[in-house]
Amino acid sequence: MKFFVDTADVEAIAELNDLGMVDGVTTNPSLIMKSGRDIKEVTREICAMVAGPVSAETVALDADGMIAEGRELAKIADNITIKVPLTWAGLKACKVLSDEGRMVNVTLCFSANQALLAAKAGATFISPFIGRLDDLNLDGMELIEEIRTIYDNYDFRTEILAASIRSVNHMKEAALIGADVATAPPAVIKAMAGHVLTDKGLDAFLKDWEKTGQKIL
């Protein structure tokens, strides 16, 4: 499963990228706002750092507006993925931009039917929002599983990009189901390395080592 980092924090992206943990980046207007920087400036810096796709989101509500904004965002770098919402206008924009050879991430997906439409429209990525479904006492992972089954039934090339990930369990479950990509905040990706038994075992080893009175350096 590919890891995308869901942030516009350049320092956090750089740290994970140096470890080989970044296959791409997703941004949105809210994340750009938190960075406090110009959208084109920060997006260009991220694109130069990361080899994989970098999602930059349109904000227009009509198809023509999304297409125009998408073309403008695509000028930033070759690895820009244009992010459009899963609305009828967004699907129209997806079709046009995909036909032009551009990568498109269709976001805010909450049903398998929506995901099917996005694949038919030529989306590069579909972004089902796990955490937001969980907030409504619905099973976000069940949606990932449904989309996986439908896409495999018909060999759709659209990649499932599990989004709105809130926990390390979300990451594990998305990988088990077969999501192609998971996008998560840096803190969630780093938390995957943690385990109470690892900490306990390390503490015991260090105490035993101290008793030997030896040094490696």
Domain boundaries, the chain: 2-212
pLDDT per residue rounded down to tens, the chain (217 residues): 999 999 999 999 999 999 999 999 998 888 888 878 888 999 999 999 999 999 999 999 999 999 999 999 999 999 999 999 999 999 999 999 999 999 999 999 999 999 999 999 999 999 999 999 999 999 999 999 999 999 999 999 999 999 999 999 999 999 999 999 999 999 999 999 999 999 999 999 999 999 999 999 9
* Among 118, 127, 128, residue whose Cα is nearest residue 97: 118
Task: Report H helices in 19-139.
Answer: 29-35, 39-49, 63-74, 88-99, 112-120, 130-135
Active site residue 83: yes
**pLDDT given at position 157:** 97
Q: Which residues contact 141 (CB under 8 A, 6 or more apart)?
A: 130, 170, 173, 174, 177
**pLDDT given at position 39:** 85
Q: Considering 2, 34, 40, 83, which one is annotated as catalytic?
A: 83
**pLDDT given at position 33:** 81
Which CATH superfamily hosts domain 2-212?
Aldolase class I (3.20.20.70)
**pLDDT given at position 38:** 86
**pLDDT given at position 68:** 98
Give dist(CA 107, CA 97) in Å, integer.
15
